[in-house]
Amino acid sequence: MLNIILCGAPGSGKGTQSAFIAQKYGVQHLSTGDVLRAEIASGSELGKQIDALISKGNLVPDEMMYGVIENYIANLPKDSKGTIFDGYPRTVSQAESLTNLLKKYNMEAIMIDLMVDEQLLIQRLIERGKVSGRKDDNLNTIRHRIAIYHNQTEPIAHYYLHHGNYFAVNGNHTMADVFLQIMRIIDRESRQ
């Protein structure tokens, strides 16, 4: 089974590369951002609380995210080939929870970290903001999301480095080049 945690700053290409990986390797794509946006779109009370956080670029509390992931893993189809976790974990506490949850089901994951220069992140998100309709794709919120990433998410790299399943990828290149780097890692690691 192939489980991949795709990590990286806002605009680093997590969603883009997840789609490529899902198509090539037949794994499921779980984007926690998409799950949260679907809850907002449902118009529920919970969705309103989530909207207040996401639209300002703040993270949703760890406990709420844990429920989403626990439910997802518990309901994985028996014949699943694996999952790409896009945007989860985003805190060290979420990383610890995910390791424990995967262990409970005898699963493991590798972490692929997309490294992209800040100017490029901003450029990509401003460009996407012209058509995405995402409330968090404006310059102020983009800067805040990047700051949150540095403070809360970047430390998980050390967590995975320490656990020996960390792989960094240069995400500044074209989508195809980035995917080539990712495929090399996946193919090498899944042979072992």
The residue of the chain with the least Cβ separation from Mg ion equals 15
For ligand AP5, the binding residue among 2, 21, 22, 36 (CB under 6 A) is 36
CA distance 176 to 181: 9
14 is a contact residue toward ligand AP5 (CB under 6 A): yes
CA distance 190 to 73: 21
Per-residue x/- track, 44-83, ligand AP5 (CB under 6 A) = ---------xx--xxxx----x------------------
Residue among 148, 187, 145, 149 at smallest CA distance from 167 = 187
Please report how close the Cβ of residue 83 comes to ligand AP5 at its closest, in angstroms: 14
Residue 83: beta bridge partners?
Answer: 3, 28
**Angle at the Cα of 52 (from 149 to 18), degrees rounded to 5?**
45
Q: Tell me the three-class secondary structure of 116-133, residue by residue.
A: CCHHHHHHHHHHHHHHHC
Q: Which does 156 bind (CB under 5 to 8 A by kind): Mg ion, ligand AP5, none?
A: none
Q: CA end-to-end span of the chain, whole Å?
A: 12
Please report how close the Cβ of residue 188 comes to ligand AP5 at its closest, in angstroms: 21
Please report how close the Cβ of residue 18 comes to Mg ion at its closest, in angstroms: 8
Count of residues touching ligand AP5 (by CB under 6 A)? 29
Interacting residues with ligand AP5 (CB under 6 A): 8, 10-16, 32-33, 36, 53-54, 57-60, 65, 87-88, 90, 94, 124, 128, 136, 145, 174-175, 178
